Structure 1
């Protein structure tokens, strides 16, 4: 599960950088410029290390560059505010693929409770779509404080809560099934 959180953090690093710098400085230009540089550096570093890069990495880079460029040209941070929504929708679509979650759970979980892993994958997809819609609604207001609260409390909190529920459920059900199989 630690690897899954690290993977998610890596996928959203440029958005996190933008968010933090924009909150601290109030400068859309600074936050956007550093977010673009961070996304490019992430891809360059991974390629230099010979690490395989997935669709989400390239999609995130593309979104940061395109939306970041529009933000820089217009000096309107709402374009960067919308990036998490697009990312949520893209992730949600990817999460509709059957069995996507299997790579994020320990093999014992994937083998013992595959139906729970499958259901959780679809539940995560639904969560991503709901969060994406909420992000767009909040981004359209242009209110930085509201957006910051939504992204940091609501969206992040929903993901942490979903992760905790999934972790506890997977652990309890997997342990129960393994004990029952031994008996």
Structure 2
């Protein structure tokens, strides 16, 4: 449970801009207010990290850059599909970044990394695959089922991430306990 709480904060914080955008769009706030609010929140997330003197995670920089680009394109053209396609671009970039070994170390206490670092690296690849699948699904829904996109973006990304997150945490916990028991048995 402690691992779950350790990881959920950064996960929600990193996604806050798109969450605000999707919620406002689903509430029929309009594309301009939703775009502006999502952009302001994404900028605020990065600004908050910088103000605290903390390193800004790569995913936060990627999210901010894509929010700024797609927000400008949406506001300039009035076409919401730019913002709707933004998650596809982000998912492709993030999926590629997630192919890097060790990126999950931010989400687990350092002491536990020594025990299950290999499992975390395998899950890094699984997370990457989820991002690539999410990119494809988002593009399909944004282009061909535009009216359904607010519901899709409000449900699928968070549900799929929290679902995989729950499986990830359960597997890591199980493997950690098994390895600790095995280590204790060998020590006796």
Per the alignment, residue 9 of structure 2 pairs with 6
Shift of 1:48: 2.1
Per the alignment, residue 46 of structure 2 pairs with 43
Q: Does 1:20 align with 2:44?
A: no
Structure 2: which 5+ runs fail to align? none
Per the alignment, residue 89 of structure 2 pairs with 86
1:77 to 71, 80, 86: 80
Q: Any conservation in 2 of the 1:138–1:150 contact (CA below 8 Å)?
A: yes
Count how many residue pairs are aligned between Structure 1 and Structure 2.
182
1:121 to 120, 124, 141: 124
Mapped to 2, the partners of 1:97 and 1:17 lie a distance apart of 28
Per the alignment, residue 104 of structure 1 pairs with 107
Give the 4+ runs in structure 1 shifted more than 4 A: none
Shift of 1:26: 4.1
Mapped to 2, the partners of 1:109 and 1:2 lie a distance apart of 14
Mapped to 2, the partners of 1:103 and 1:135 lie a distance apart of 27
Structure 1: which 5+ runs fail to align? none
Shift of 1:156: 1.8
User: Per the alignment, in what secondary structure is the counterpart of residue 27 of structure 2?
Assistant: helix
User: Per the alignment, in what secondary structure is the counterpart of residue 152 of structure 1?
Assistant: helix
Q: Choose 106-115 or 6-15, whichever is displaced more.
A: 106-115
Q: Any conservation in 1 of the 2:66–2:86 contact (CA below 8 Å)?
A: yes
TM-score of the aligned structures, taking structure 1 as reference length: 0.91
Give the CA RMSD over aligned residues. Answer: 1.7
